[in-house]
Each structure stands twice: as structure tokens, then as C-alpha cells.
Amino acid sequence: MDADPKEPRTGSTAIRIVLVLLLSIAALTSSALPGRTTTPRLRASAASGSYFDHVVVIVMENHNKCDILTTCGGTATYMTGLANAYASVEEDRYCNVNPSLPNYLCLTGGSDFGCSGYDGNPNSNGCTSQAWQAKNIVDRLEDAGLTWKAYMEDMPSNCYGSNSGNYAVRHNPFVYYSDVADNATRCARVVPAGSSDGTFLSDLGSVSSASNYMWLTPNNCNNMHSCSVATGDAYLSTLVPQILNSSVFKTQRAALFVTFDEGYGEPIYSVWAGPVVKTRFTSSVGYNHYSLLATIEANWNLAPLTTNDRDAANMGEFFAGSPAVTQPLPISLPIPLLAAVGVAGTVALVAVALLLQRRKKRSKPPPEKKES
């Protein structure tokens, strides 16, 4: 017997309902998946970030974590105390590459550009030529209306592009990008740090002079490259308290990140400190140099530079009010969204069950007539 053309096809209807629900769920969840572009959140000003409004990055040189921490054989007592007091990273694997230059490029350009094994001058070979043309963190910051400044100890003049005394150009990643090095306005923001970092510290004395993103490269003695761990530890024991007691760190949402450019197979020392940072916190989640970029991008809702920083775990868990995470990192969905997904799934199952039951009833043959 042919089906009544006025009757709905229950199987097709069920499929349509399920498909609509699944597409709705996909639309809701896609924006919450890592690496997805979402609508920028509203904020009071460009400087207002999720975790901090000002960040200072200091990069030290060439040591594994356990060369530093006294808790695992190191000798840097001040840096150990800083890690114990604030938030430390147990598993920071830098860029898993050596020597210095590719790690500095990872921190600012989202790639080592194939510079493994190379420590030369800007735009001087194939890999640095790639970096020369690349977008970098400066582009992202300026596009978002944020300010930045980079300070180099012992650099003779702004944007100096070769080695000089204890200034190593390979430790100044900003001059490896042509849109910084060839731009006079931007070069005016890649400056000598001043005697005893006086220029840098002076800028931290006021919100009007402090940038949202501030980078400091110590000279080759203070950063432990050419001098001892004790020398670098003593240097930070003088500098870091001045940073943390500066006007910007006392009155604003500011964060300090101290890390190393590279290690040798083992993790490196990386510590967050400042008024917005958790205290006495340690994480064993795996991070790397791309994670710093990912954190800055997440903080200010910036577009990623490459798939490396797009896919890296950001360090949001180190900031006050943020939950700790465990490995592996879960896909994070807001609670209302999880509830919506659960309800949608339940509705789909109920709809299918009811429609199939209805179809089953209609498919039963009519009862046979008894002969009189």
C-alpha cells in the first residue's frame, strides 16, 4: 500500500531535526576551539587585557632550569626565591632549537625561520631573510593600538645592527625584521637601556611613559652568557625589586616574565611575577617560547603570527583568578555552552525516539476482518 502523500516521512523528518541540532552545536562550539577566530571582546581601552595591561619580558642566556634552581642542584638563590614566591613553569622547552637567534625569533616572530644552527646578523642568509620579511609581535601590538618598547643593554644607538662589546645583535630580535629596522619611528622604540638600566626603569616610573609591552635584553655578562650564574643572579636581585616596586607595578595590572633563550635538552627557568600573578604557584604543563606569544595574543585578543603560536598553550593559568590546567590541555567550553550542547543532544535523542515510535505504529498492518 502506497504511503499517504499528505503524511510526513517520519524518517526524513528525524534526520532533518538531528542535522539542524548538530549544525547548531557546531556553530556554537566552533568559536571556542583553539585557534579559531572569534569576535573581539569589548573592552574599555586597547590596553585593557584579560590578564595584564603591561608586561615586561627579560631574557637570560644559555642555562637549564636546574643550573638555576637550588631545589634541583642550581646555585641562583635570588632566582630560586623569586620562583618560590610567584609562579614558575616546570616544563618550558624553549623552541627545542639552538643556538640563541632562532629562540629570539620564536619569541617575537612565531617561528625560528629555519635558523637552527645560525647566529648571524640580520638579513644575512636564507633564514634571516625570511625573518626580515615576516610579520612580528610589533605589528600585532600596533594594529591593536597598543604601545611597545625594547631596551638593550650596551647597545651603542637605536636599532644597532651588529655586535658591539657586550651587546650581541643576535639577542635583539627586533632588528631582524625589516618593518622595524627600516622604520625610523619604530627604531626610536628599540633603544639603549641606559646606565644600570636607567632609561628602562625611568619609563616604569609612570603610566604615561611605560609601554604595554616592554622587552629588556641584558648585556652578555648580566644575562649569564659570558659571566657566571652568580653574576646574573646578583644582577636580577638588584633589578627585579626595582621593577616590582616601580610606579607601574605598584598601581597598574602589570606582569614580569623572566625566561632563558635556550637550554640543552632540559627545561629552562621561566617565572611570572607581579601584582596580577599567582603566588607560590607551579605548573607542570608543557610550555615553550610560542606560549609567551600565545599568552600576549590571548591577553589582548591579537591575531596569531603563525600556526606555532596559534596552537601553543597560553599561560593564562599563572594569573590570579584563572584556574590551573592539567596536561593534556582540554578544549575549554563555557558552562552555558556545555549546557546547551547537552540539552540539544537530549532533544535530538527524544525526537528520534518519538518519530521512530510513531513510524512503527503506522507501519503495523490493519487487523484482519473476521468473516461472519
Note down pLDDT in tens along the chain; length 372 residues: 444 444 444 455 555 544 444 444 444 444 333 333 333 333 445 789 999 999 999 999 999 999 999 999 999 999 999 999 999 999 999 999 999 999 999 999 999 999 999 999 999 999 999 999 999 999 999 999 999 999 999 999 999 999 999 999 999 999 999 999 999 999 999 999 999 999 999 999 999 999 999 999 999 999 999 999 999 999 999 999 999 999 999 999 999 999 999 999 999 999 999 999 999 999 999 999 999 999 999 999 999 999 999 999 999 999 999 898 765 444 334 434 444 445 445 545 545 455 556 555 555 555 554 444
3-state secondary structure of 192: strand
Rounded Cα distance between 315 and 352, Å, is 43
Give which of 59, 61, 68 is closest to 99, Cα–Cα: 61
* Cα–Cα distance list, 253 to 250, 271, 310 (Å): 8, 17, 25
Q: Where are the beta strands (DSSP E) in 141-252?
A: 148-152, 190-192, 213-217
Structure confidence at residue 47 (pLDDT): 81
Quickly list DSSP for 48-66.
--SS-SEEEEEEE-S--HH
3-state secondary structure of 277: strand
Neighbours of 346 (CB within 10 A): 11
As a three-state string, the secondary structure of 234-274 is HHHHHHHHHHHCCHHHHHCCEEEEEEECCCCCCCCCCEEEC
Rounded Cα distance between 84 and 184, Å, is 42
Structure confidence at residue 338 (pLDDT): 42
Cell 503495523, residue located: 364
* Cα–Cα distance list, 208 to 54, 178, 205, 247, 269 (Å): 12, 28, 9, 11, 32
Prior bond of 192 cis (ω within 30°) = no
Cell 610606579, residue located: 247
